[in-house]
Amino acid sequence: MRFHLFAAVSAVALLATGAHAQDAGAQPAPAPAAEAQVVTDADLAAFARAATSVRTVMEGVQGGQPTADQQAAMATAITDAGLTIDRFNAISTQVAADPELQARVAIAATPESPAGSVAAGVTDAELAQFAPAYARVREIAVAANGAPTTEQQTQMAEIIQNSGLTIERFNEISGALSSDQRLQARVALAEAQAG
């Protein structure tokens, strides 16, 4: 799952540019170019909280243009999360262009894996081994339409063994992946970091 907030970014950018002006003929000023800034985990946690609320408001927008009340609700959600509208928009712009930031937002937006679960026990080092191997194994499985040949099974086993994980550990992680959103987000981050 990738996190995209393009519609909400556009709506919130309207907030910052004055699109809510009373004069129907007023045109919003172009938004200033956002400078890339370091985005901390705390920034991303605040962004994820705000984005969830902004998305909820955007789902109620009729006709493509948020009402003044909807704009106010989005602005309140952003400031309540501890961000300014300009900072929210700057982070939105950076997130939209950076798969690694998208994955970090997804991690910030998901609950922790249950304590004692396989997902909770997966280390960052294991993820760095798992993610590229999983991507390659998944490609082979898709090409095989779910019924890999003996040769394809051997190829998948070699990929896993060359990753540094045992087949058993690889299978534990992949089994936990389908039911744990936090692990899914962590794998997406490891894939983004691997390039």
* Alpha-carbon distance values, 167 to 114, 135, 142, 173 (Å): 23, 15, 19, 10
Residue 161 lies in a domain: yes
Claim: this prediction has a pTM higher than 0.75: no
Q: Which residue, of 60, 82, 109, is where some domain finishes?
A: 109
φ, ψ dihedrals at 136, nearest 5°: -70, -40
Distance CA 99, CA 156 (A): 26
- The reply to whether 54 and 144 lie within a common domain is no
List the domain range (segments joined by +) for residue 174: 118-194
pLDDT tens per residue across span 117-166 = 999 999 999 999 999 999 999 999 999 887 889 999 999 999 999 999 99
Domain total of the chain: 2
Do both 86 and 14 map to the same domain? yes
What pLDDT, on the 0 to 100 scale, is given for residue 35?
A: 52
Distance CA 19, CA 185 (A): 35
Residue 24 has pLDDT above 70, yes or no: no
